[in-house]
Amino acid sequence: MEKEEKVVIVLLLMALSSISVAYFCFGLEFAGAGKVSGGEFKQYSPESEVGERVNLEAEVLSKRFTYTGGHLLLKVDYNSEPLTVFVPSDAGVEALDESINKGDFVSITGIVTEYEGEREIKVTDKTEIFRIDG
């Protein structure tokens, strides 16, 4: 082997080992460690961690749009505690505004997030919220 070929092989091995170390040190956190895989979700609880995909059923206490951005905010009653559900404007808020009202019982699937120190559920698509007929 030529000297240049040996240098290239050594550099490739160093890059591969660096990527492996970075993955095991940091990648598991970003790859969804501790979360349910396959698009599934866990039942929401106050102990749910930020970033977890969760599901809950609750009564809608209020519904309003944000002053800027046209996002939908639902306040729901989860185990006698108010919880905010954030629906971005590009997630089909018009359809949700027509189909969900105060007093409705809904099923919500979303990601646990925090906004200004308060826990909330972020929904990414209108299909993740639906009224429970009963």
Q: What is the DSSP string of 51-83?
A: T-EEEEEEEEEEEEE-SSS--EEEEEEETTEEE
Mean pLDDT over 8-36 rounds to: 69
CA dist 81 and 44 (Å) reads 13
**CATH number for the domain including 92?**
2.40.50.140
111 and 133 in contact (C-beta within 8 Å)?
no
State the pLDDT confidence band at 36, using cuts at 50, 70 and 90.
very low
CA dist 134 and 132 (Å) reads 6
Q: Are residues 63 and 28 in the same domain?
A: no
How many folded domains does the chain comprise? 2
Mean pLDDT over 34-43 rounds to: 61
pTM reported for the whole predicted model: 0.67
Q: Are residues 15 and 73 in the same domain?
A: no
For residue 113 the two structure tokens come to 């997030």
Q: Are residues 72 and 89 in the same domain?
A: yes
pLDDT of residue 79: 86
State the pLDDT confidence band at 133, using cuts at 50, 70 and 90.
confident
pLDDT tens figures, 39-67: 577 889 888 899 999 999 999 999 999 88
- What range does the domain containing 117 cover? 42-131
Give the phi and the psi of residue 98 in degrees, each rounded to 5.
-80, -30
CA dist 39 and 61 (Å) reads 28
Residue spans of alpha helices (H) in 3-134:
3-22, 28-30, 93-99
pLDDT tens figures, 21-33: 776 666 544 444 4
The residue assigned the tokens 């240098």 is 7
CA dist 21 and 104 (Å) reads 49
